[in-house]
Amino acid sequence: MKYVPFSAVKIQGFWKHRSEINTSSTIPTIYKRFSETGRFEAMKCVYTEGMEKPHIFWDSDVAKWIEACAYSLEQTPDGQLEKQVDEIIGYMESGQLDDGYFNSYYIACEPENRFTVRNNHELYCAGHLTEAAVAYYRATGKDKLLDLVKRYLDLIEKAFAEDDSAAFSTPGHEEIELALIKMYELTGEEKYTNLCAHFINTRGTSQKDLDNFVYSGDHSYDQTHLPVRQQKTAEGHSVRALYLYSGMADLARLTGDKELTDACKSLFDNICSKRMYVTGGVGSSSHGETFTQDYDLPNDMAYSETCASIALVLFCRRMLMLETDSKYADAAERAMYNCVLGGVSLDGRSFFYVNPLEINLSRHEKNEKWHDIKENLLTQRAEVFSCSCCPPNLARVIPSFAGDAYSYDDKTIYVHHFISGEAEWEGIKIKQDTRYPNFGDVRITVSGAAGRKIAVRIPGWCTFATLNGGRLPHEPVRGYIYLDITQNEQVFDFYFEMKPRFVAANPLVDGDNGKVCVARGPLVYCAESVLNAGVSLNTLSVDTGAVFGSEPDEESGAMRLSVKVYEDKSRTELYYDYDPDGRTERELTMLPYFAYANHGESDMIVWLRTAAK
Amino acid sequence: MKYVPFSAVKIQGFWKHRSEINTSSTIPTIYKRFSETGRFEAMKCVYTEGMEKPHIFWDSDVAKWIEACAYSLEQTPDGQLEKQVDEIIGYMESGQLDDGYFNSYYIACEPENRFTVRNNHELYCAGHLTEAAVAYYRATGKDKLLDLVKRYLDLIEKAFAEDDSAAFSTPGHEEIELALIKMYELTGEEKYTNLCAHFINTRGTSQKDLDNFVYSGDHSYDQTHLPVRQQKTAEGHSVRALYLYSGMADLARLTGDKELTDACKSLFDNICSKRMYVTGGVGSSSHGETFTQDYDLPNDMAYSETCASIALVLFCRRMLMLETDSKYADAAERAMYNCVLGGVSLDGRSFFYVNPLEINLSRHEKNEKWHDIKENLLTQRAEVFSCSCCPPNLARVIPSFAGDAYSYDDKTIYVHHFISGEAEWEGIKIKQDTRYPNFGDVRITVSGAAGRKIAVRIPGWCTFATLNGGRLPHEPVRGYIYLDITQNEQVFDFYFEMKPRFVAANPLVDGDNGKVCVARGPLVYCAESVLNAGVSLNTLSVDTGAVFGSEPDEESGAMRLSVKVYEDKSRTELYYDYDPDGRTERELTMLPYFAYANHGESDMIVWLRTAAK
């Protein structure tokens, strides 16, 4: 099974709108910011006094931005943008050392120390450069960056596999593993797969690694606590973990390694059934940006980094290649439409690094002063943050998500995600007419595929679906409906009933006990005080028997909802005999989680108390 | 108005039982521990290499223990105990310097630095020594410690008031203020009141103080942010604050200072209507052990130090002398029967310093590792902690609480607290027959007071009361019923209906939203998982329409309750469409908050979710 490549997919509707904002606002915003901070100049690998000192992860920032440009250029050719990218690639070429080494920080600042400090993001940067090179080559046919990366990867192979001369064995921050598979898939050269396998198989077995770096006494931080095939629960830094798991899933697919496949399945199940926010956020703790324990999902102190949800989407994409089960696409959808989309403002210009599920401005202040809680949370998106991993990561994932929509093999065409538009490859054409994620009607028209089957995912959130106005022909098989394509052009009219619903969390999630959140289709909703006359959100409880109101929201391109809630009666007493009648009704306006924090400073809440008897 | 002195009150029932445990277990346990750690030896003020180094607050530990012994000796003469105390006082006498100075740490370790470091508890220790001296003199007539203290206070007066030679102006940790008033009341010497007034009036006005010490950039920590008469909200370290406020209330009473009285009233109202746990705990943050903001009362991270609640009782006792309003006795009762009593185990041998309203053992562990939350909470009481302020503070407050029960003036005898037993003074005899706090019947017999009035407090928790089987003769006046005493011996049969009830918190207390706690009479209840088959307490919600079961609990001397709760259905899914029917009924056993943590490691909860519709 293969994905229909992103370049073969033309999108419309919701995702086209988001991609256009990405192209017109996000990519230029990041360009401006990176120019101002010297990130592009730094690619020349020359540092002189007075310049801002390059940072160990700047190469990855620039590489992700180039990758984003590549996806944008595939959809929307732009000579000016391509010139900008080429110029930066020129800087890189001028900076690369003769032996192939390329890292702007080490060359400029500590040339003698390359490959000595495991936690310094060197191989992580190399991985992102590799992804950028592959994407830019696919988009433009230009191979300057690709050649640079090939030379560098050969050097890395020598230092880490052939000679074992590096001071550590595996990346402190994973990423290169999945990038090497992309190189293999572009070039067909097995040395890349072999190097990927070397990194993955060596992880958790190298004393050099353990000696070189440990975070807070805990080797699970960088997933070196066990050989990877023995890792069954998601541990440590969540972005590192999910990039590793993505590489593992890639390798398992290519090698058919059952043990590795099983480890990936266990890791996925652990995350998605015990360690994931309802928004698809993962990595609940700011301490090391880590996964913590099963069911430990605090709302106001959620870390839930944007990059971690993006990494979850990447992992899901790969798991779906290992096993056709809709749970993978469900999780990717949950993350994309909620946490990931929420990482960027509606105008595309500002970003969240951390994505809480509750903001209480007054508690915010006192948490810092009186409750020993380190404050990582922004209450509004920022145009800038010094650790800039999330903005260019968003810029590459939003336009490329359409590449996850379809896959195929000789017998079957799979529809994983519902994205208006069409795809054309190998004489096959598939078209979706849908207002998803806002309405559940999806018309799929397939041409040139008679004799195959089409497999359509029934979204996990959907409890009532029809095909061509009637019952589905069979119960979903691992979440997919399989239908014969009998005509040269055939239409399948799916309808996924999409009404607002109350969602509960497992009772073991303390912070969500006695609460529900509101969802509609794939979108999770939230309430902001600023859109509700400043009401104190904690004093509300929701009538779960109530009917929702809804109306289109032009700003977000989705629907706003309203629901009946009870507001606790304002009191002067601190304690009083319980009186359930002391509450008033009001309507609560809710908006998609991804659209919050676009209306000024505000309290925000996802999980609402259910009203008492 | 004066209190009927503690020595004139003979107690029975609930408090006699607690006092006996205090005498037979707590006082000897502390004696043993203090002996082992060298606290008594240290009173000789000689430090040689190899000894455990004395600590700056050891004098106060020993003084509070002596004070506790004094109260115990008044009720239960004990030659052996008196000998122990005399021996320690002998050590002190041998250690005191010729000029009157006495502080075991400074004399032994830094004699040249006395009166130079404002935060070093020097005057706090002097205050506790003073209280001990007064109590021991009243109990035994022995004046050795009293003389020591008189000499020391004269020196303090010289250094801080007369010469102003000390490097700071007012205590970094208040306490001496209220102790000086006790000295005045014993001796009638106004110099003590004057020194108290000097400390209180100088606070918040001295540049020397501000320069000498600041905690975390914040002068409110030690109540030097404003002159005391301008302090209207309770700020900073809660024990320091409440000892200061107690001294202020004493001084306001003796001087009739209206501005000072008003400040005390504002401070009380701020605490009791916005900053106090339902258990009477105060000082919600472990950061500086401080008061924080209005309505900031987190349950699991509650600091709520035992000493702070004891200090609240002391403040209430004094406020009641300024103004006959039952709110003061209500707050004292709330603190005594819940947070304070909970500070000591039922066997009297182990102690809580911090008194949370929720314990979740699994969260406990992860809070330390992953959530940047400093762990101050014990889940079981400890026999020992290095900062030993709470155990001897408990030991002195439990036997002396009976001294808060009655007050009188020429016209009226006041009954503030319901404590079985009798009091006899100035020819008047008053007797209470009551099973309080377990049942609401209180028979009060007064003799020798014909022509006066008796004023009986109607507890704030009580919504239905009778007198002699009929209606109360008038609406309570600021919480008291005033009745004429017409006979030489007269019986007043009060009945305070005492049924279990659900109590809610102000909606602005986030952590208690949508929750209720269970109370019966003055007792707040809690549930422990260990007494409920290990149930996960967060998965429970309570049926507020349900009828309570109750049964006597010999162990605590109070009642256990049971109530119908719903347990959320155990699930495998992390998120699922809300289903209110997915819950099962069970009975939840609840016990008085003060009796928790006597049954092994356990989760505990005070505030229960109300069941959803």
In terms of domains, do B457 and B517 share one?
no
Task: Tell me what the mean pLDDT of segment B257-266 comes to.
Answer: 98
With an 8 Å Cβ cutoff, are B544 and A578 in contact?
Answer: yes
Q: Is residue B371 part of a domain?
A: yes
Instruction: Give the Cα separation of A289 and A280 in Å (integer).
Output: 15
Residues on chain A touching B507 (C-beta within 8 angstroms): 536, 538-539, 568-571
What is the nearest CA distance from B199 to chain A, expressed in angstroms?
A: 28
Could you report the per-residue pLDDT of A307-348, keeping only the tens digit for each? 999 999 999 999 999 999 999 999 999 999 999 999 999 999
Residue A601 and residue A586 share a domain: yes
Q: What is the pLDDT of residue B52?
A: 82
Same domain, A492 and A507: no
Q: Are residues A540 and A600 in the same domain?
A: yes
Beta bridge partners of B359: B604
The structure tokens 């360009």 sit at A31
The answer to whether A524 touches A338, Cβ cutoff 8 Å, is yes
Residues of B with CB below 8 A from A578's CB? 501-504, 516, 544, 610
Does the residue A393 lie in any domain?
A: no
pLDDT digits (tens, 9 = 90+) for A114-125: 999 999 999 999
B316 CA: distance to closest CA in chain A (Å): 17
Q: Which residue of A lies nearest to B612 if distances are taken between CA atoms?
A: A612
By DSSP bridging, strand B549-553 and strand B575-577 are unpaired
Where residue B445 sits, what CATH number does that domain have?
2.60.420
Q: Examine the pLDDT at B3 and tell me if it is beyond 70.
A: yes
Q: Inter-chain contact A287–B538, Cβ cutoff 8 Å?
A: no
Chain A residues with CB under 8 Å of B611 CB are: 612-613
Which amino acid appears at position A456 of this protein? V
The parent domain of residue B352 ranges over: 214-403
Instruction: Indicate whether this model's pTM tops 0.90.
Output: yes
pLDDT on residue B49: 84
- A31 to chain B, minimum CA–CA distance in Å? 35
- For chains A and B, what is the number of CB pairs under 8 angstroms? 181
Per-residue pLDDT tens for B189-205?
999 999 999 999 999 99
A359: in domain: no
Residue B254 tokens read as 């003796």
Give CA A61 to chain center in angstroms. Answer: 16
Contact residues, chain B, for A460 at CB < 8 Å = none
Contact state of A609 with B514 under an 8 Å Cβ cutoff? yes
Could you tell me if B223 and B183 lie in one domain? no
Question: Is-contact A6 A403, C-beta < 8 A?
Answer: yes
Average pLDDT over residues B487-501: 97
Q: Residue B292: which of A366, A509, A579 has the nearest Cβ?
A: A366
Q: Are residues B512 and B413 in the same domain?
A: no
Maximum alpha-carbon separation in chain B: 79
Predicted-assembly ipTM surpassing the 0.85 threshold:
yes
Cα B264 to Cα A43, B232, B248, B307, distances in angstroms: 66, 8, 7, 19
Would residue A318 count as lying in a domain? no
Could you list the active site residues of B? 289, 389
* Confidence bin at A368 (pLDDT 50/70/90): low
Q: Which of A510, A540, A519 is nearest to A280 (CA)?
A: A519
Q: Are residues A512 and A601 in the same domain?
A: yes
CB contact under 8 A, A536 and B507: yes
User: Among residues of chain B, what percentage have pLDDT more than 70?
Assistant: 97
Identify whether B73 is part of a domain.
Answer: yes
**B571/A536 touch (CB, cutoff 8 Å), yes or no:** no
Residue A358, min C-alpha distance to chain B (Å): 12
Cβ distance of B570 and A507 shorter than 8 Å: yes
Whether B287 and A568 lie within 8 Å, measured CB to CB: no
Domain identity same for A543 and A487: no
pLDDT mean over A348-360: 94
Contact B293/B508 with Cβ under 8 angstroms? Answer: no
A278 CB neighbours in chain B (<8 A) are: 575
Pairing between strand A540-542 and A608-610?
Answer: parallel
User: Residue A192 domain-assigned?
Assistant: no
Single out the residue in B207, B239, B274 at which a domain terminates.
B207
Cβ B506–A574 below 8 Å, yes or no?
Answer: yes
Number of domains in chain A: 2
B98: pLDDT strictly greater than 90:
yes
Distance (Å, whole) CA A128 – CA B457: 75
Q: What's the pLDDT at A371?
A: 64
Residue B440 lies in a domain: yes
Q: Do A486 and A521 fall within a single domain?
A: no
Q: Do B458 and B513 sit in the same domain of this protein?
A: no
How high is the pLDDT of residue A582? 79
Do A490 and A508 belong together in one domain?
A: no
Query: A286, A290, A362, A578: best mutation site toward chain B, by most B Cβ within 10 Å?
Result: A578
* pLDDT score at A373: 55
Residue ending a domain, among A453, A469, A496, is: A496
Which among B292, B516, B577 has CB closest to A370? B292
Residue B378 C-alpha, separation from nearest chain A C-alpha, in angstroms: 17
Q: Do B379 and B460 share a structural domain?
A: no
A480, A496, A512 — which closes off a domain? Answer: A496
Inter-chain touch A504–B575, beta carbons under 8 Å? yes
Q: Is residue B379 part of a domain?
A: yes
Question: How much is the pLDDT for B378?
Answer: 81
